[in-house]
Amino acid sequence: MVRIQVKHGGVHGDDDEKEFPYDCQSTATIEEISIDVTEISNLQSKIQGLALLLEPCLPIHGDPKVLPLIKALSEAKSYASKDQVSRNRPLSNYVLRDHIQSIEREFRVNFR
C-alpha cells in the first residue's frame, strides 16, 4: 500500500486549495491513480457546491425537518475537508459518493 499526498488548486494558499491523502496499491498504474484522484477531487467540489447552494437556504433554528439535511451536509463537508490531512485519513470516492447520495436523499424527502 502506498499513500500519496494530493494537493492542488488555489494560488498561494487560497481557500480553493484542496489537499487529501490517497491510498493505492503499489502496483497501481498512473492512469488508475489519476482517474481515482480526479474523481475524488470532483466529488469534493460537488460537496462544496451543494453546501454553498443549500446552506444559505436552510434555517439554522426552528424547523426539525431540516435537521437531517443539515447533519448530512455537515458530515459531508467534514469528510471532504482538508482536515483529513491532519488526521492522516485518506479519502475514498465511495464514501464521498455516499455522502452526496445522503444529501440528495434528505433534500428529496424534506423538500418535495
Instruction: Kindly report the pTM of this predicted structure.
Output: 0.85
Cα distances from 6 to residues 20, 30, 90, in angstroms, run 5, 13, 10
Cα distances from 22 to residues 29, 45, 57, 92, in angstroms, run 14, 16, 33, 8
Whole-angstrom distance, CA of residue 64 vs CA of residue 106: 13
Q: Fill in the DSSP letter of residue 65.
A: G
**Per-residue confidence of the chain (112 residues) as pLDDT tens digits?**
999 999 887 655 556 678 899 999 999 999 999 999 999 999 999 999 999 999 888 876 667 888 899 999 999 999 998 888 888 889 999 999 999 999 999 999 877 6
Task: Give the start-to-end residue ranges of the domains of the chain.
Answer: 2-110
* DSSP state letters, 30-79: HHHHHHHHHHHHHHHHHHHHHHHHHGGGS-SSS-GGGHHHHHHHHHHHHH
Whole-angstrom distance, CA of residue 58 vs CA of residue 72: 13
Residue 101 dihedral angles phi and psi, to the nearest 5°: -65, -35
Q: Taking Cα atoms as reference points, which of 57, 94, 90 lies closest to residue 73?
A: 57
